[in-house]
Structure 1
Amino acid sequence: MDKLKQLFWLLIFSYLGEILSLIISRFVTIPGSVIGMVILFLALHFNILPIEKVDDVGTWLTDNMAFLFVPAGVGLMTQFEVLGGNVWWQLLIILFVTTALMMWCVGTVVQKQIDKRQNKGAKK
């Protein structure tokens, strides 16, 4: 019964995200699942929802994440003729450019945090 309660909490936040997504869809399109995850993160971060209320089900979901990606992979394979045409090189360019940008952004943020901590240590 405890696992059902934990699943209930996750579904509540997912449902809240879907509702908010519908409300803000006139201004910006953000998937409800993303909004729900952000709300769940904030609730956990600010101790509105204790981690114990979602820990077991959350661990189970992350342990079985590969299994949950199977439908998305099958969906891609059903559209293989679209992806296999002249689109593949565009996807490769997008893949490399976004990967390079993400690596640059993460590297910059991490380096600034390291410099910030070293400067704090030097001031003491």
Structure 2
Amino acid sequence: MNYLKQLAILLACCVAGDALSILMHGALPGNVLGLALLLLLLVFGRIQPHQVEGTADFLLQNMAFFFLPACLGVLEIFEQIRGEILAILAVCVLTTLCTAAATALTVHLVCCLQRRAGREVPEHE
């Protein structure tokens, strides 16, 4: 029963995000607004992490399952995108490299800020 309550909280944030998106005439996607709402609720203490942790962990551990519909959708339109497959792959590789570089830069900056503030920073291997 506890997992149902946790799922209800996550779904309520998702539905609220979709409703906000509709009210904003689609300026931001509902899933992004739902995650932002969940983050705000967690930051301001209206929801405690243990209230959603079990279900969130389950969803994260089974995330690959949620990508199946998207993958199958790509397979359905493969004939239409066959001519552009190299461009699509190039974009995928380029954005992956950009994401990795942005992540590394962010970690480096946070470590520098922590050192400057006098906090202990874990050593990297």
Q: Which TM-score applies when normalising by structure 2?
A: 0.81
Q: Which deviations, in whole Å up to 9, do the C-alpha atoms of 1:91-110 show, x marking residues without a partner?
A: 12212222232222222222
The 1-side partners of 2:106 and 2:53 are apart by: 30
**2:113 corresponds to which residue?**
116
**Aligned residue-pair number:** 119
**2:17 corresponds to which residue?**
17
Deviation at 1:11? 1.1
**2:46 corresponds to which residue?**
48
* Structure 1: gaps of 5 or more residues: none
The 2-side partners of 1:107 and 1:52 are apart by: 30
Q: Name the Cα RMSD after superposition.
A: 2.0
**1:66 corresponds to which residue?**
64
What fraction of aligned residue pairs are identical, expressed as a percent?
A: 30
Q: Which deviations, in whole Å up to 9, do the C-alpha atoms of 1:49-79 show, x marking residues without a partner?
A: 0122212221221222222221121111111
Q: Which TM-score applies when normalising by structure 1?
A: 0.81
Tell me which of 83, 91, 100 is aligned to 1:94. Answer: 91
Q: Does 1:2 align with 2:2?
A: yes
Tell me which of 55, 78, 81 is aligned to 1:80. Answer: 78
Question: In structure 2, do the counterparts of structure 1 residues 42 and 93 end up closer, same or farther at CA, with 3 Å as the change threshold?
Answer: same
